[in-house]
Amino acid sequence: MAPAGQGGSGASPAMRLTLRPGERIRRRADFKRVFDKGLRAHTRLMTVIVLPNGLEASRLGVSATRKLGGAVVRNRAKRLLREAFRLHKPRAAVDVVVIPRREMLESRFSVLEADFSSAIERRLRGIS
């Protein structure tokens, strides 16, 4: 059984350490819409694409291709990006798609967080 506050079924909603299903982009059509119409921010660690979604919450999608590495590497990149999104959710209701680069896996999480949040802020200024 998972200790309280570590995401298990015993965690209270205030201590939830995962993204809710409504905070994830899952459908191909939603990814395509963001890729086609969204504003891009390129950083050393990732490319961030942001598009208003008209929903109540922001959503995250990660596009980690085999070019990044094997399944273990891609899954680690997704976990890191989900955590960065969870900690730095945009206030505006937007869809965010992130394309990680290999350099992301070699950097410290604090650098990744700063890179992610600055890219999001830059694109949100472009939307407003």
pTM value > 0.85: no
3-state secondary structure 41-75: EECCCEEEEEEECCCCCCEEEECCCCCCCCHHHHH
Amino acid (1-letter code) at residue 96:
V
| Cβ 14 vs Cβ 86: under 8 Å | no
Question: Quick check: is 37 in a domain?
Answer: yes
> What's the rounded mean pLDDT across residues 50-74?
94
Please report which confidence band the pLDDT of residue 39 belongs to, taking 50, 70 and 90 as the band edges.
very high
Question: Quick check: is 98 in a domain?
Answer: yes
Domain count, the chain: 1
Question: Quick check: is 45 in a domain?
Answer: yes
Rg of the chain over all Cα atoms, to the nearest angstrom: 15
Query: 86 pLDDT exceeds 80?
Result: yes
Which of the two residues, 116 and 9, has the higher pLDDT score? 116
- Cα Dmax for the chain: 45
Range of the domain at 60: 19-127
Question: Quick check: is 11 in a domain?
Answer: no
Question: Quick check: is 96 in a domain?
Answer: yes
What is the tens place of the pLDDT at every residue in 9-18? 555 555 667 8
Question: Quick check: is 14 in a domain?
Answer: no
Q: For residues 11 and 9, what is the distance between their CA atoms, to the nearest angstrom?
A: 6
Question: Quick check: is 86 in a domain?
Answer: yes
CATH number of the domain to which 39 belongs: 3.30.230.10
Question: Quick check: is 13 in a domain?
Answer: no
Strand stretches in the chain, DSSP E: 39-42, 46-52, 59-62, 94-100
